[in-house]
Amino acid sequence: MVNAPSGSTTSERRTSPRTDATHASALGTANLNPFGDLHTLQHLSARFARALRGVFEPVTRKALRSWAEPLSVMRFADYCAERPNGLTAWVPLSIEPAGGQALLILDGRFALELLDLYFGGAGDAPHPMPAEFSPAADAMIQRLATMLAEPLEAAWEPVARLGFRPGHVEMSAAMLSDLDGDDAMVVTRFGLAAGSEKPVFVDLVYPVDALKPLGASLNAKVHGRTAEPEPKWRNGLTRAAMGVRFPVRSVLAEPVMSLGRLLELKEGDVIPISFGQHVPVMVGTHRLGTGVVGTANGHAAICIAHIEQLDQEELSR
pTM: 0.61
- d(CA 109, CA 123) in angstroms, rounded, equals 10
The widest CA-to-CA distance across the chain, in whole angstroms, is 105
Nearest to 34 by CA among 254, 172, 219, 265: 219
- d(CA 216, CA 35) in angstroms, rounded, equals 9
Provide the pLDDT for residue 56: 93
- d(CA 294, CA 251) in angstroms, rounded, equals 14
Provide the pLDDT for residue 312: 55
Beta-sheet pairing, 278-283 with 248-250: antiparallel
Tell me the DSSP string of 228-295.
PPPHHHHHHHHHHHHT----EEE--------HHHHHH--TT--------SEEEEEETTEEEEEEEEEE
Domains and CATH numbers, the chain: 39-218 (3.40.1550.10), 248-254+275-310 (no CATH)
| Cβ neighbour number for residue 88 with a 10 Å cutoff | 21
- d(CA 70, CA 90) in angstroms, rounded, equals 21
Beta-sheet pairing, 184-193 with 200-207: antiparallel
Provide the pLDDT for residue 299: 87
Provide the pLDDT for residue 278: 85
Provide the pLDDT for residue 89: 94
Give CA separation, 132 vs 112, 170, 173, in Å. 11, 10, 14
Residue 299: enclosing H or E segment and its boundaries?
strand 299-307
pLDDT, one tens digit for every residue, the chain (317 residues) = 454 444 444 445 555 445 455 444 444 445 667 666 788 889 999 999 999 999 999 988 889 999 999 998 999 999 999 988 889 999 999 998 878 889 999 999 999 999 988 888 888 888 899 999 999 999 999 999 999 999 999 999 888 899 999 999 998 888 887 888 889 999 999 999 988 889 999 999 999 888 888 877 777 655 455 545 567 777 888 888 888 888 888 878 788 889 988 899 999 898 888 777 888 888 877 888 888 888 888 888 889 988 887 665 555 55
Provide the pLDDT for residue 88: 93
Sign of CA dihedral 280, 281, 287, 288: negative
- d(CA 278, CA 265) in angstroms, rounded, equals 29
Provide the pLDDT for residue 154: 92
Q: What's the distance, CA 307 to chain centroid?
A: 32
Burial 171-187 (b: 16+ CB within 10 A, else e): eebeebeebeeebbbbb
- d(CA 89, CA 166) in angstroms, rounded, equals 12
Nearest to 78 by CA among 22, 21, 17, 30: 17
- d(CA 314, CA 180) in angstroms, rounded, equals 51
Provide the pLDDT for residue 220: 64
Note the helical H segments in 127-230: 135-156, 208-211, 215-218
